[in-house]
Amino acid sequence: MKNQGIIEFLNNITPTEKSFLKTGLYIIICIGAFSILILPILLVKVVSITSFTGTGGIGDTINGISAPFIAIMASILTFLAFWIQYKANIDQKKAYVDQNTANEKQIKYINRQRFEDTFFRLLDAHFRIVESMDIQIVSENSPNKFEKIAEGRDCFRYWYNEIERFCRNGLFSQFQFRYNTIQESYKGDLYHYYTFTYHVLKFIHEAPLEVEEKKKYASIFRASLSCYELVFLFLNGLHDNGKKKLFPLLEEYRMFDNLDRSLVLNPPILLYYEHLK
C-alpha cells in the first residue's frame, strides 16, 4: 500500500517538481558518498596545508567535521518530507473540492428530476381539469333533459362569446356585470381552474432552480394554454379575486406573451383593464 501511495504521488506531481526532487536526491547521495568514501581518506593523510595526525582520535575528528554535513542532509530530508506532506494536503483539498462539486451537481440533478416529475404531473392534472369542464343547457325538445353545448377548452370560447355578445356597446358596467355573472354561474369549474393555475406557477416560482430554468418551465406551461384560456386568466388576474396573487406570477413569467391582442383589446375589456390599473 505504501509503495502504491508513493507511485501515485510521483504520477501526480509536475515535471518541474520531479526534477527538483531528483536534484535534491542527487545532492544528498553525493554528499553522503563524499563523507563516507573520500573524507576519511583526506583526514588520515598529511596534506600540504594541515594535518590531523596530532588531533587525537581520528573518529572524533571525523565526527566533528562530518556533523555539519549530516545536519545539512537531515535538514534537506526534513524539508522534503514537509514539502511532500504539503503537496499531499493540496491534493487532498482538491479532491475534497472536486467531491463537493460532484455532490452539488448530483443534488441539483436529483432536485431537477423530482421537480420535473411533479411539474409534468401538475400539467397532466391541469389538462384533466380543463377536459372535465362542460356547459349544459335545457334541451329545447325536452325541458327535463340537458343538452351539452361545449366541453373542454371550448368552454372558454363560449364564455368569451357570451361576454362579447352582451357588451357590444362597450359599456364597462355591462361588461363587468356579465363577467361576474359567468364567474358566479360557473365557479365550480373556473375557481378550480384559476386556483390550480396559480399553484402550478407558485410551484415553478418556489422551485430550487435558476431563474432562466424557471422561465423555461413556465413557457412550457404557457404553450399548453389556449388563446381563450389566456384571455380569462388575464381577466381574472385583473379581478379582485386574482390580482393580488395570480396576476403578479402571470406577469413575472410572461404568460401573456402568446395572448391574442385582438381578443383583449376590444372596448369592453380594455375599459375593464384601464379601470383596474
Q: What is the pLDDT of residue 46?
A: 47
Q: What is the pLDDT of residue 273?
A: 61
Q: What is the pLDDT of residue 62?
A: 57
pLDDT along the chain (277 residues), means of 10: 54 66 72 65 55 54 62 71 74 75 80 92 95 84 77 92 74 74 89 94 93 94 93 82 85 88 68 59
Handedness of CA 161, 163, 166, 167 (dihedral sign): negative
The span from the CA of 164 to the CA of 268, in Å, is 8
Q: What is the pLDDT of residue 267?
A: 59
pTM of the predicted protein model: 0.62
